[in-house]
Amino acid sequence: MTGPGCSGRKHTPITSKKQRGLFGAELARRRAGKKGVMSGITTKELESHLHESKGKKLPARKKKRRVLNG
């Protein structure tokens, strides 16, 4: 599934508060006219992701899945 601003790539939503903070900081850097750290995502995509996650209750950090060797 692709999102409205993800230009053909698979859409991955923001999954934690930490990730939301990183996306917000990147958007603020770009709006200030500085060079961004995330080169693979456009400003429009950043805004789209942040708009989607607004108002959602997200965990502080996403838990890693444990792989069981069986």
Calculate the CA 5 to chain-centre distance: 12
pLDDT digit string, tens, across residues 29-67: 999 999 888 888 899 999 999 998 888 887 787 777 788
- Amino acid residing at 37: V
| pLDDT of res. 1 | 44
| pLDDT of res. 67 | 82
| pLDDT of res. 3 | 53
Residue 6, C-beta contacts closer than 8 angstroms, at least 6 positions apart: 45, 48
Which residue matches tokens 């993800």?
6
